[in-house]
Structures are given as structure tokens and as C-alpha cells.
Structure 1
């Protein structure tokens, strides 16, 4: 009789089997957001992470990552929030790499006590990149003159409408090296002796999950359902934790526009979407 009444309860209220909360982190990583794009930032994921780690009886939190990278600052902030919650709530973190966890996406993956990847997923790209366009020739051809007035000799460095200066590029490279070293230190701190010492690890190269296992970037190959049921039993249930969506957001979503961005400049949104597409395309996605 007791078993009969238990079957009538919603799955969330049953006591049989272990419940593992699952958070999906997908998109490019950047502060704020934009139209026509799916992005990650601390502000956009903090609430859902808090909710996932609040599952009192869950021994672990599963995080599925699918990101080509983006802002190093937001990547580290998300990483740090996951680690802080794991320590505060005494939860194990298991990260699952889907199509790609590269660059900033891999930085977030480092928050896992264990990283599990599909054999064909993409991991790595431990480096820093800056990209822009130069429009000086185009402006000359169409007869447009650029006028910039600054207080401070370096206020307009790397202006895309002015010729590139060697000293500005060197200054940018120095900054990149500092950010890169922070990334390298984090990888070494989190992966430790699991890294195989390959000289290519920190050059920005990326690899399949299968090769990433050999390099020590991931701990095992597998999928989320199979891995968690093997670890916590066949009755293990996965509970997807998602952020709430407003009615306004859902309606705008029909038209391919994120509701939390309002109705701003669609042209700018299309340009940002093209930048996102370029990030994913680097990994053949």
C-alpha cells in the first residue's frame, strides 16, 4: 500500500533514488547579453547555480557545458561562483562537456571535481585572443576623414579607423600574456598531476575529448545519464534546473529576439550574432 501511494506522488516528492540537479551552461561568455544570441555571464547564471546547489540531499551537482569561450573575466567569475557554492554546500561538482568547452568554456569546466567529455567533443584552446577590423582603406576610398580628440596620449589606442601602431600592438600583447598566465595557473592548480606535460597544452590548440583524456584535460569519457547512474545507482534521476522566463521573453523568443534585451538596435544585434557564429565556427560547429 505504501508503495502504491508513493507512485501517486510527483517524481520530485518520491524518496526512492538519488536526485542530481543538472545545470546547462550554453553560449558565448560575455558581460550582459545581446539580441539574437545566447550568452553566459555571472549575472545570467548566478540564480540557477544557487538553486541547483540548494538541493539538500543531492550528493553532487552536474553541469553540462557547451561554450566556445568569450570573456576571461566572466569565465573566471562563473568558475569561482561554482567553487564557492560547492564548498559552502559540500557538494561534488561533475562537469560534462557537450559539443565544446574551449577557452573560457574550458575555464568554467575547471570548476568540476571531475570532467567528463564525449569522445568527439572539443576541449582546450587555453589561450587569449583579441580580434577586430581595420577600416582605414575603406574610409580613404569613400572620402571619410576620422577625427579623434583625446586627453591622454593612449586614450585612442587600436582605433579601428586609424592605422595600427606597433607600440599599441605590443601593449595589447603584454596584456594578453598576463591574462594567459592567469589561465595557465588555474589549469595547473585544478588539474595538477593529471596533466601529461605536453608542450602544446597552453598554446591555444584544442583537441577531441578522447585526446583530451590522454592529455589530462578531462578525467573520463562518457555521457551525463550513463555516468551519473553508474556513480549513484540505476534509480538516479536527473533534475534540470533552468532560469525562469517571463511571458514577455517567451513571446519575443518566437521572433528570435531575446526578451531581456529589449527592442534595441537589431543591426548591432546581427553583428554580434555574426561574432558569435565566428567563435563557434573555429571549432567546426
Structure 2
């Protein structure tokens, strides 16, 4: 007779191998469940079983179950496994009466995935948009608190986040309160001005209303290594801002004009959002202007050849403490995150015990309102960072308070 090939004989035995592990998994799941009941544990033990399992007849467990050895748990590190979902961290767990959602804005704001050690690899702009869309579709969320802890970021990325907040307020008409944590500068403060109220810690660093473009001249450095750029280009200014050669005065003026335009946009937003109180502060500060500064104002703010413009202290890019920011009208009051939550609750007409939720993926912990998504950029695997070499990966114009040199290349 014809004997079937070995491959077919192995295939016939395959179901036996497939069901054996499932039976073992079933016994482990039963043991774990029984162990939880017998030990009085309030937290249920969940077991994931793959494939099909059929159990017939009655099954009972009598007596004590003792488990020895080690139990290994695996945490998924795929940040795309689930969409963001509300996780209650404070207050009642019911959906009735409305909830307060905390949207966290931490670290550098750039429209780019953050790849690095211990990083979730999230794009801050995309993640923010996903959270806003969840709130737009979730009628149980009645107020939003922006928890901002950032020195700023890209001009466009910051503006995109601010635009999303403006759209949310139009779509849902719910109160938005910004709370500035350790740092609320540059693009972080720009975002905060789109909220209904701004709260800052007394020790927060606030402000940084300015624009910066990181550019380098590496012509001499490259020449030391006998590296001579030979660009083939059509369009004299196509390599505008290149670190490979010295920037011409005309080219610098072009970039300066762009920076001034972005700065004007920032200033206009702050003046519009902060209203009369900020105008009074500007008038007060203007009393100490020098004759040179007054002449600059009389010229309707025309740009000087070197790009310098005088706006007084508020808009020259400097930073302030939270208490100073209150006096200047940049923020409404000093307080803490709890105070911001309470203000948002009052504005929304919610109860004192209204649930507070964070929007998180299932592999992102959410134990308290201060938890931060691990999302740190890494510019290079090498410990050496030479300014200019990774210029193509850097953000361009930045709303960024920049005392830290690593921010120069952190977007790479």
C-alpha cells in the first residue's frame, strides 16, 4: 500500500500538540482564579487563552492550592495597541454628572515621533490631536485642564496644538483651564493663552515670548578636515541657512523677517487673550523706556537692519516666576494643579467629587495626575553631538525658551 509522506503524518499529529498547551493554560487559569478567591484578594486575576478550549462536565476545586516558583509578566511596548481611553484617577467612578479630563503637554513640542531609549515613540502633536478628538466625542467630559510642563517647541507644532484647543471650545463649548507646572514657556505659554484661565505655580518659569532659529557656521570646521562642499543648485537662496558656508547679510535679513513675523503672531495672541490687564501692564512698563526705545516705537515698530526690535520687557523673550507673571497679567493666579481642577469643575458646574480622568493607552501607566508618558527624544546613539551636523533633523523656527543646549538637537 502507498504510505503517506512524513509531512502528512506530522500534520496528523499537529492538533495533539496544539491542544496540550491549551489544557495546561486552562489549568493555570483555574488555579490562579481559585488562588485569588481563597486568598481573599480583591483584584481579579486575568488569564489570556489563545485558541479554542472546550470543557465538559463539572469541575470543582477542593482544599488548598499552593503555587511555587516564579511568575513572569510581560508588558506590551507597542504604543499602537489601543486608542487613548479615559482612566479615572480621582473622584467617583461613575459617568453621571460629568468628568474633568487632564491633557498633559510635557517636554519638547515638535511634530515628529520621539525615538529613544525608554521612549513611547509618540508624536506629541498627533497624540494631542487624538486626545482632543476623544474629548469631542465623549459627552461625559465636561471640562478640560491643560497640564503644561514644557519650555516650548516648533512654531508650527505649537500653533497646531493651539488650533486644536480653539476647535474643541467651538465644538463642545466646555471650559479649558491651563496649569503651568515647572516650565510654561515659548510654545507652552502660547498654548496656555488659548485657555479660559491660566494658573501657574508660584515657582513656575513663565514667558519666553520670542522666536529662535538655530543656525551654525561650520565652514571653517569642515575646511580643517579638508571637506569642501560642492553644491549643485538652481536658485541662489535654495541653501539659505546652510551650515556649510557663511551666511550672507541679505540671507540673514530674510530669516530675520520670518522670525519677526512669527514673533508678531505670538505677541498678537498674547495681547488678544490677556486683554485690558496686559495693556495696563505694558503702559506701566513703557514709563521706563529710554529715548531710543521710544523712537523705535514712534517708527511703528519698523525692523532695524540688525533685526532688533523694542517691545519692552514683556515680549523680549525673557522669563518670569509665577508670582511675577500674575503681577504682569500673563497669568490669572498662582496655585497648583488641584486648584486648576477645582476652577475647571466650578466653571463647568460640576460637583466637588467630579471624576478626574487622564487619557492614556493601555500600556501607559496612569496612577496620578502627575504621571508623565515616557517620551524622550534622542538625537544620536553616540554620546557626541556636534551642532550643525544634524541640522536637517532640527525644528526650524521655535517658540522655545532655550537655556539647555540639548534642545538644539533634541528634535532629531
TM-score range, shorter chain: 0.7 to 0.9
Q: Displacement, 1:265?
A: 7.0
Matches of 2:152 and 2:328, distance apart in 1:
20
Matched, 1:210 2:210: no
Equivalent runs, 1:1-285 vs 2, <5 Å: 11-13=92-94, 15=96, 19-36=99-116, 41-195=124-278, 196-197=281-282, 198=285, 199-229=312-342, 231=346, 232-243=350-361, 245=363, 266=381, 282=403
**Structure 1 residues not aligned, in runs of 5+:** 1-9, 247-255
String of CA shifts for 1:50-78, please: whole Å, max 9, x gaps: 22344424432111011111111111111
Kept in 2, the 8 Å contact 1:62–1:95? The answer is yes
Q: Displacement, 1:235?
A: 1.7
Local SS of the residue matching 1:20: strand
Cα distance change of structure 1 residues 243 and 52 upon mapping to structure 2, 3 Å threshold: farther
Q: Give the corresponding residue for 1:250.
A: none
Local SS of the residue matching 2:153: coil
Q: Give the corresponding residue for 1:253.
A: none
Matches of 2:243 and 2:251, distance apart in 1:
12
Deviates more, 1:64-73 or 1:218-227: 218-227
- How big is the alpha-carbon RMSD for the aligned residues of Structure 1 and Structure 2? 3.3
Local SS of the residue matching 1:94: strand
The number of equivalent residue pairs is 259
Matches of 2:383 and 2:272, distance apart in 1:
39
**Structure 2 residues not aligned, in runs of 5+:** 1-87, 286-311, 365-373, 408-412
| TM-score normalised by the chain length of structure 2 | 0.56
Q: Displacement, 1:270?
A: 7.3
Cα distance change of structure 1 residues 162 and 102 upon mapping to structure 2, 3 Å threshold: same
Matches of 1:173 and 1:23, distance apart in 2:
34
Matches of 1:220 and 1:53, distance apart in 2:
28
String of CA shifts for 1:241-260, please: whole Å, max 9, x gaps: 225559xxxxxxxxx887xx
Matches of 1:145 and 1:83, distance apart in 2:
49
Local SS of the residue matching 2:198: strand
Q: Specify which structure has the higher proportion of helix.
A: 1
Matches of 1:184 and 1:67, distance apart in 2:
19
